[in-house]
Each structure stands twice: as structure tokens, then as C-alpha cells.
Amino acid sequence: VFSFGRFNPPTTGHAKLVDRIHRIAKQAKGDPMVFTSHSVDKKKNPLTHKQCVWYLRKFFAKKVGIPDVAARTIFDICGALFEQG
């Protein structure tokens, strides 16, 4: 069970999403994961990808996996997950 988004910066709304992903994955006996996009601009996306992943891991690492992958689209993520098995 995964989500893909900017999460830039992480908000309380993202915390609710993480809780939901965690709950659904637990019911499905799956792995909960959050993937972040690589979008960066000073107005809408103030954090770099690395900073965003760092904050997400700091806040949510106990509930979901937060891989630091080079995926830029949901199709890249699906491909990476397929390769993992």
C-alpha cells in the first residue's frame, strides 16, 4: 500500500494520510510506503527531495516505509516495486 506525492513540506493532512496508509496496509497484511516526488521550487516546494525524505522519516518512520528512490513518476515507482518482487 503506497502513496506518492510532494509532501513538501509535510503537514497534518499528510499525517492523516500516513495513518490511513498504515491502517489499510495492516488490514491487507501489506507494507505501507510513502514515496515523494522530486519537485523543487521556492514557492510551492521549498524542501529538496533529501530534506523532504529526512522530515518524513523523522515524523512517520514508525508507521510507513519512506524509500529514497530516484522515481519521478508513479510509473517509476510501480517499476521499482515490481523489480523488488
pLDDT at 27: 98
pLDDT at 42: 83
CA-based nearest residue to 36, from 12, 18, 62: 18
Q: How long, in residues, is the chain? A: 85
- What contacts 28, CB < 8 A, 6 or more positions away? 1
pTM above 0.95, yes or no: no
CA-based nearest residue to 7, from 20, 18, 19: 18
pLDDT at 39: 80
pLDDT by 10s per residue, the chain, length 85? 999 999 999 999 999 999 999 999 999 999 999 999 888 788 888 999 999 999 999 999 999 999 988 788 999 999 988 988 7
